[in-house]
Amino acid sequence: MSVITDPYFYLLAAPAVLIYGIGKGGLGGALGIIAVPLMAFAIAPTQAAAILLPILLVMDFFAVRYHYKNADYSVIKRMLPGGLVGIALAGFYMHAVPQAGLKLTIGVLSLWFCGHYVLSELGVMKAAKRRKGRLSGSIWGGISGFSSTTVHAGGGPASIYLLPLRLEKVTLVATMAVFFAMLNVVKIIPYAAIGEFDQTNLLTALILIPLAPLGVAMGVWLLHRVSQTLIYQLCYLFLFLSGIKLSADGLLSLI
């Protein structure tokens, strides 16, 4: 059997999966934004994302089973067309761009997410007006679909559209869960098309899958015991450092 055996990879992949699960478990889905950048230190970015996708599908199964009744499907209908276009564009992008370019892309996206987080925390970015139109939903759905496909981090762009709608907390979490579960199923197509669902990646994902429910359980346990703000600050600090490193590596490789 063919499987990744490099201990350095698992040293990075194990916490990456746990952090994603912790986010799903109650500390916010955006916490998983660090997973692909972290794993990209050991393997190619597209391979890291491909290994994570089956694991995310397992998490989605439990999340949707719990949340589907509370989701706002009218909002999902506005976002989904753009999300599908974003997935398609990301698939072509990953096929056409070399790994160095993808590293640069992931690095820049990581820094962009960090900047958005910092500006939001400082109150520099004011809440947008409530926009329920299809165009706005499609645009942010498209950006979310693209970033979700390339780095499994579509929560940031989706939140920019969803938060001003002022949905109830349960409705917001449920809507995000169902929307990204739909996107993750469709993302199977571009990853299969570019040949990333080979035996090595699927078997490696199978090894890491048991960490998924453990991470979710840790998120539930940490929810009322640890400061969510502190966890996010640490997460975005590591994301910032990863973004700089990946951007520099990608840029130097392209020069």
pLDDT for 215 equals 83
Decide if pLDDT at 88 tops 90. Answer: yes
Ranking 10-14, 88-92, 126-130, 230-234 by mean pLDDT, the lowest is 126-130
Residue 98: inside a domain: yes
pLDDT for 77 equals 94
Q: How many domains does the chain have?
A: 1
* Chain segment 129-184, per-residue pLDDT in tens: 455 567 888 988 998 899 889 878 787 788 778 877 878 877 887 888 899 999 99
* Chain segment 4-23, per-residue pLDDT in tens: 999 999 999 999 999 888 77
Of residues 66 and 175, more confidently modeled: 175
Judging by beta carbons within 10 Å of its beta carbon (0-12, 13-18, 19+), is residue 22 exposed, middle or buried?
Answer: buried
Q: How far apart are CA 37 and CA 144, in angstroms?
A: 17
pLDDT for 75 equals 94
Structural domain range at position 39: 7-254
Q: How far apart are CA 137 and CA 96, in angstroms?
A: 27
Residue 126: inside a domain: yes
Residue 2: inside a domain: no
pLDDT for 131 equals 52
Q: Residue 165, Cα to own-chain centre: how many angstroms?
A: 21
**Cβ atoms within 10 Å of 61's Cβ, excluding its own:** 12
pLDDT mean over 221-225? 70
Residue 207: inside a domain: yes
pLDDT for 134 equals 75
> In 3D, which of 69, 55, 23, 60 has the Cα closest to residue 217?
23
pLDDT mean over 106-110? 80
pLDDT band at 28 (very low <50, low <70, confident <90, very high): low
pLDDT mean over 221-247? 73
Residue 37: inside a domain: yes
Residue 1: inside a domain: no
pLDDT for 84 equals 97
Residue 72: inside a domain: yes
